[in-house]
A and B are shown apart, each in its own frame.
Chain A
């Protein structure tokens, strides 16, 4: 089922538009796919480009602009339930594609047949579901290389990231309770590390490393490398991950620290 827009004003639904074309325009003039005959709306106000299951909203340099979920925007990747506001009019974007499809099927990798390659026999090209803009789907041969953020600088003694990163990947997994490690001995005694990442490194790679991992059902400490295995409450760890309990005392390379849950 295609995604759709529901046009309303002052809470009254006016019309429903399935997004069944690759490009649909919104504007005051009659040739638009979605015509809103109101002087606050530009002749050609905005366009929505839909590629398979994704839709993108773009302001066509309109006089009064547009807002999505209350934020002025020029270009926006539409998500289910987004509210587009143009003047007094509201357009609700609905795309329940995922809930309607068997989730397992949806995850499966599928081949999108490359459109019109010169050597491909003409009759054989099958495009799944919708026509794809050939320029977009054109084969790309450039060297793949997109950089990522530099890592947090490796710190010799104890390393932890200061800020929680938003969990941007699709699945929202129930995170365990917030936890902290407080250093009890050594030059950093008294310092607290909030365990906000899935993996917090203790020590320095190449020398002595243990990691604290955050999993859906709790926190674990694992020895990675180095001559000395860490201990928990005086018990030296083996090679297996060890689950951490509230107020466990970890000792690593002569430094003691306490693990506890927060709040």
Chain B
């Protein structure tokens, strides 16, 4: 027997379609980007590492695995809409913030204790989807975009010198493309003993597509081309991911390029109260 109950939403992994791809680009020999996606807990994480030898991929690897493992483990028994006692925030928000800081400390300590990792760091951008919203957290210049009703918007703001110049009115967005000061981030994970991740909660709608990317995409591909690609290929995300990376590489591919796409296919309101939980449990 199967219950059909109004208001009981899709499971998160049925409500989201997630595709990711990372590519070293046309110039670099190794890939310092890392990505992780966990559909069951609605989490996507992308990091762009920096540092000599292989320290960049070590830093981005630590960041992605700490954030992904810790959050998904915690959400197996906890509900992200509960209150976090320590901060008073929603648990989902607190988990993302705390675990980016935890990753920061792990990288920082590894860099302190092992000379070959000295000075390594990474950007990070992560999205935790639950209760018809996404918690977006980021540090540095890896971005999250949203395509809604055919319009692409950045929903993170780079922690970069160039973004600060744009904000202060010193340089226009058009001129910024010509700047030689790209790639200077003002915040990074693992560089100092602590870091302040920027966290915002956005409501999601069915049909939205979220794009997380390293600067290897948005430095090489115009936002307009990203927009037209996502719009045209919204029905075929694996193709869209390939096309975005191909665009970056056709334009020179000077950096590693990583892309995660998340498409919202249905509602995923969190279950509240014991009845909903029980019904949801039966629903599985």
Which of B163, B164, B175: most chain A Cβ within 10 A? B164
Nearest chain B CB to A47's CB is how many angstroms away? 13
Assign chain A's interface to a size class. 35 or more
B234: Cβ under 8 A from any A Cβ: yes
A215 interfacial contact with B, CB 8 Å: yes
With a cutoff of 8 Å between Cβ atoms, the chain A residues found around residue B165 in the complex are 51, 54, 136
A213 and B252 within 8 A (CB): no
Interface string of A62-104 (1 = CB under 8 A from B): 0000000000000001010000000000000001011000011
Chain B residues near A169 (CB, 8 Å)?
A: 177, 219-222, 251
Of the residues A52, A119, A168, contact of B180 by C-beta under 8 Å: A52
Residues in A neighbouring B174, C-beta threshold 8 A: 168
| B164 interface neighbour in A98, A140, A143, A167, Cβ under 8 Å | A140
Q: Is the CB of A54 within 8 A of B180?
A: yes
Count B interface residues, CB 8 Å: 74
A52-B252 contact, Cβ under 8 Å, with A108-B183, A109-B48, A111-B121 = no
Q: Is the CB of A150 within 8 A of B151?
A: yes
Contact of B188 among A106, A111, A138, A216 (CB under 8 A): A111
Is residue B236 contacting chain A, with contact meaning CB distance below 8 A?
Answer: yes
Contacts of B28 on A, CB cut-off 8 Å?
104
Whether A140 contacts B163 in the complex (CB less than 8 A), given A110-B184, A112-B186, comes out as: yes
From residue B16, how far is it (CB to closest CB) to chain A in Å? 18
With A141-B198, A145-B155, A148-B153 already in contact, 13 other A-B pairs whose C-beta atoms are closer than 8 Å: A51-B170, A53-B179, A107-B255, A110-B185, A142-B167, A148-B224, A149-B224, A151-B231, A171-B254, A173-B250, A199-B225, A199-B228, A201-B232
List residues of B whose CB falls within 8 A of some A CB: 27-28, 48, 50, 121, 123, 140-141, 150-159, 161, 163-168, 170-175, 177-181, 183-188, 191-192, 194, 196, 198, 200, 215, 219-225, 227-229, 231-236, 239, 243, 246-247, 250-252, 254-255
Q: Which 10 pairs between the two chains have the least Cβ-Cβ distance?
A: A144-B157, A225-B235, A53-B180, A171-B252, A201-B232, A77-B175, A112-B184, A111-B188, A109-B183, A151-B150
Contacts A/B (CB < 8 Å), 9 sampled:
A54-B181, A109-B50, A110-B185, A120-B192, A146-B157, A201-B228, A211-B232, A225-B235, A239-B239
A91 to chain B, nearest CB (A): 19
* CB of A39 within 8 Å of the partner chain: no
Query: Which B residues touch A216, using CB under 8 A?
Result: 250
Q: Is the CB of B161 within 8 A of A147?
A: no
| Most B C-beta atoms less than 10 A away, residue of A49, A103, A173, A209 | A209
Q: Which residue of B lies closest to A79 (CB)?
A: B178
If A111-B50, A169-B220 touch, whether A103 touches B239 (CB-CB below 8 Å) is no
Cross-chain contact B187 with A114 (CB below 8 angstroms): yes
| Pairwise interchain contact A54-B171, C-beta atoms closer than 8 A | yes
